[in-house]
C-alpha cells in the first residue's frame, strides 16, 4: 500500500473537507525527506559514514603486532582488544533505539561520528594501555551506533530505493574495510610510527561531520515546513503508527529470526576473517599468498555488496536468494576441508559470494519494517544479539584448531552454524513486516 493511502478510510464518497485536509506527518510520504535535505548530500553522508564503519577495527588488526610491542602489551590485553569490536557492537547497539528517540537519528549519527573521531585520535597518542583500551571502546561505540542507524536513515530518505542505496553503502563499507586493512602499514612506515597508521583514520571520521551538520539543518527545515500544516485533529480516523518506545522486536518471531540470521552469519564471517589465512598456510601456501587469498574474499565481496541488496529488493520473498548464498558457502567450506590447496581460488570466490548474506541482511532491516523507528528497533535488536554470537566465532575456531591441530572440527562447527543461518535466514526472508507482527500479537494478547 502506498504511503499516501489512508488506512481505515471509509468506503464511498469522501467529504470535501476531508479531501482538502492537510496530510499528517504519520502518513506523509517519507521520500520528501531526501528532497528537503538534498538527496546528493544525504547519499554523500551515508557513504562517508559507511567508509568509517570498519576502519577502526581493521587498521588496528593490521598494526596489532607493532602496537603490542610499542606499548608492551601482554597477550591477555591484546586478546581483550581483539574481542572489543563484537562486544561493543552488541552493547552500544542495544542502546541506540533509546538514544535515537531522544536525539533523532541524524543528530545521533553526528554525535557517533564525533565520538569515533575523538576515540581514534586519543588512542593514537596515549602511552597507557588502560587508556588505549578505553578509547578504543569509545571509538567502537561510535561505530556500533552508526551500524544500527544507517539502515533507518536509508529507510527515511530513500524509501523507494532501499535495495540500491543499501547496496552502494554496503559496497563502500566493504571497500573501506579493504583499504583500512592495506593502508595502515605503509602509512606507519612513511611516518615512522604505528601511531600515524591508527590516527589518520580520525581525520576520515571528522570529515563526515560536515555533511551530517548540513543534513541536520535540512531535517529541522523540513520539520518547520510540516508543522504549520498539521491539523489539530485528523479528519479521518487513522490508526497511529507504533512509536519507537513500543517497537520491541524481541517479542516477534521476525525479530528473533533476524537476530539468529545475523548472529550465525557473523559467527562464520568473523571466524573466516580471523583464521582463513592460517588455513591456507597449513595447506602449503606462503604467508604472502595466504594473505592475498584472504584479501581476495574482501575484494570479490565489493561488487557482491553492491548487487545483493539491489537484487533482493526486486522480490518480496528473498528465500531463494538466501538458499543460493548458503549453498555456495557450504560448498566452499567442504572444498576447504577436502582440497584447500588444489582449488583455492574457487573456494575463495564461492566464499566471497556467500558472504553476500551480510549486505542482504542490511537491506532486510529496511525491507522488513514499515517505519524508520521499526527499522532502528529491528536493526538494533538483530545486531546487538548477533554480535554476541559473532564474538564467539574466532574464539571457538581458535580453541578447536589448537586442541586438534587440524581443520576438520573447526569447519564442522562452521557448517553447523551455516545450518542455523539457513533456518533463520529462510524465516527472516519470508515476506512480512515487523509492525504487523507486533499488531497481531497485541490483538491476540488483548
At 8 the pLDDT is 35
How far apart are alpha carbons 166 and 363 in whole angstroms?
6
8 A C-beta contact, residue 101 and residue 244: yes
8 A C-beta contact, residue 428 and residue 325: no
Closest CA to 393 of 261, 263, 278: 263
Stated length of the chain: 446
Distances from the Cα of 415 to the Cαs of 276, 388, 396, in angstroms?
15, 19, 13
Q: Is 406 left (phi over 0), alpha (psi -120 to 50) or beta?
A: beta
How far apart are alpha carbons 111 and 13 in whole angstroms?
49
8 A C-beta contact, residue 419 and residue 260: no
How far apart are alpha carbons 424 and 420 in whole angstroms?
6
How far apart are alpha carbons 38 and 55 in whole angstroms?
27
Angle at 134 between CA 131 and CA 138, to 5 degrees: 130
CA 326 to chain centre: 19
At 287 the pLDDT is 77
Residue 28's contacts (CB-CB under 8 Å, 6 or more residues apart) are 3, 226
Helix 319-338, helix 408-429: angle, nearest 10:
180
Q: Say what the alpha-carbon torsion angle 81, 83, 89, 95 is, to the nearest 10 degrees.
A: -80
> Along the 446 residues of the chain, how does pLDDT read in single tens digits?
433 333 333 334 434 333 333 333 333 344 555 554 567 899 999 999 999 998 898 888 778 888 888 999 887 787 778 778 888 998 999 999 999 989 988 999 999 999 999 999 999 999 999 999 999 999 999 999 999 999 989 988 998 888 899 999 989 998 888 888 788 888 999 999 999 999 999 999 999 999 999 988 766 665 555 455 444 444 434 334 444 446 889 899 999 999 999 999 999 988 888 788 889 989 998 878 887 888 888 888 889 988 888 888 888 889 999 999 999 999 999 999 999 988 999 999 999 999 999 999 988 998 898 888 889 999 999 999 998 888 888 888 888 988 998 999 999 999 999 999 999 999 999 998 888 888 776 555 55
3-class SS at 223?
A: helix
Fold of 244-441: Growth Hormone; Chain: A; (1.20.1250)
How far apart are alpha carbons 311 and 123 in whole angstroms?
40
8 A C-beta contact, residue 380 and residue 93: yes
Residue with cell 580520525: 202
Angle at 381 between CA 314 and CA 27, to 5 degrees: 55
DSSP-assigned letters across all residues of 1-12 = --TTSPTTPPSS
At 58 the pLDDT is 85
How far apart are alpha carbons 53 and 267 in whole angstroms?
18
Domain boundaries, the chain: 32-224, 244-441
Residue 231 CB-half CA count within 13 A? 14
At 20 the pLDDT is 37
Distances from the Cα of 151 to the Cαs of 60, 144, 157, 198, in angstroms?
26, 13, 10, 27
Closest CA to 253 of 379, 430, 85: 430
Residue with cell 504549520: 228
The CATH superfamily assigned to 32-224 is MFS general substrate transporter like domains (1.20.1250.20)
- Three-state SS annotation for 71-101: HCCCHHHHHHHHHHHHHHHHHHHHHHHHHHH
C-alpha cell at 12: 464511498
At 219 the pLDDT is 61
Residue 185's contacts (CB-CB under 8 Å, 6 or more residues apart) are 62, 63, 197
At 9 the pLDDT is 35
At 133 the pLDDT is 93
244-441 has the same fold as 32-224:
yes
Residue with cell 598456510: 281
What is the gyration radius of the CA atoms in the chain, in angstroms?
A: 23
How far apart are alpha carbons 157 and 365 in whole angstroms?
15
How far apart are alpha carbons 127 and 183 in whole angstroms?
23
Amino acid at each position: 500500500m502506498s504511503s499516501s493511502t489512508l488506512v481505515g478510510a471509509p468506503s464511498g464518497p469522501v467529504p470535501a473537507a476531508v479531501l482538502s485536509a492537510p496530510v499528517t506527518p504519520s502518513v506523509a510520504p517519507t521520500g520528501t525527506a531526501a528532497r528537503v535535505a538534498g538527496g546528493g548530500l544525504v547519499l554523500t553522508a551515508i557513504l562517508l559514514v559507511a567508509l568509517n564503519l570498519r576502519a577502526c577495527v581493521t587498521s588496528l588488526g593490521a598494526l596489532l603486532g607493532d602496537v603490542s610491542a610499542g606499548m608492551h602489551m601482554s597477550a591477555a590485553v591484546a586478546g581483550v582488544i581483539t574481542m572489543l569490536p563484537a562486544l561493543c557492537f552488541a552493547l552500544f547497539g542495544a542502546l541506540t533505539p533509546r538514544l535515537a528517540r531522544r536525539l533523532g537519528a541524524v543528530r545521533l549519527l553526528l554525535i557517533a561520528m564525533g565520538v569515533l573521531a575523538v576515540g581514534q585520535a586519543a588512542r593514537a597518542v596515549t602511552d597507557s594501555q588502560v587508556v588505549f583500551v578505553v578509547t578504543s571502546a569509545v571509538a567502537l561505540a561510535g561505530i556500533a551506533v552508526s551500524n544500527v542507524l544507517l539502515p533507518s536513515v536509508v529507510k527515511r530518505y530513500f524509501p523507494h530505493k532501499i535495495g540500491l542505496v543499501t547496496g552502494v553503502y554496503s559496497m563502500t563499507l566493504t571497500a573501506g574495510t579493504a583499504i583500512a586493512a592495506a593502508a595502515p602499514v605503509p602509512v606507519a612506515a612513511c611516518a615512522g610510527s604505528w601511531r600515524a597508521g591508527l590516527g589518520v583514520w580520525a581525520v576520515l571520521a571528522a570529515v563526515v561531520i560536515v555533511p551530517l551538520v548540513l543534513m541536520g539543518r535540512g531535517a529541522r527545515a523540513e520539520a518547520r515546513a510540516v508543522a504549520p500544516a498539521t491539523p489539530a485533529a485528523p479528519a479521518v480516523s487513522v490508526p497511529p503508527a507504533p512509536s519507537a518506545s513500543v517497537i520491541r522486536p524481541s517479542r516477534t518471531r521476525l525479530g528473533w529470526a533476524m537476530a539468529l540470521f545475523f548472529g550465525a552469519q557473523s559467527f562464520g564471517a568473523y571466524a573466516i576473517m580471523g583464521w582463513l589465512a592460517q588455513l591456507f598456510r597449513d595447506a602449503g601456501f606462503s604467508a604472502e599468498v595466504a594473505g592475498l587469498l584472504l584479501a581476495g574474499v574482501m575484494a570479490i565481496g565489493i561488487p557482491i555488496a553492491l548487487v545483493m541488496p539491489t537484487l533482493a529488493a526486486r522480490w518480496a520473498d528473498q528465500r531463494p536468494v538466501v538458499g543460493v548464498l548458503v549453498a555456495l558457502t557450504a560448498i566452499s567450506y567442504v572444498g576447504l576441508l577436502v582440497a584447500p590447496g588444489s582449488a583455492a581460488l574457487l573456494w575463495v570466490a564461492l566464499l566471497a559470494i556467500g558472504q553476500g548474506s551480510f549486505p542482504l541482511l542490511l537491506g532486510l532491516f529496511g525491507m522488513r519494517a514499515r517505519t524508520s523507528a521499526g527499522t532502528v528497533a529491528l536493526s538494533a535488536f538483530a545486531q546487538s544479539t548477533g554480535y554476541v554470537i559473532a564474538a564467539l566465532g574466532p574464539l571457538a575456531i581458535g580453541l578447536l584448531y589448537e586442541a586438534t591441530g587440524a581443520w576438520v572440527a573447526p569447519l564442522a562447527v562452521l557448517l553447523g552454524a551455516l545450518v542455523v543461518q539457513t533456518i533463520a535466514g529462510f524465516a527472516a526472508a519470508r515476506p512480512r513486516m515487523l509492525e504487523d507482527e507486533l499488531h497481531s500479537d497485541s490483538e491476540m494478547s488483548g
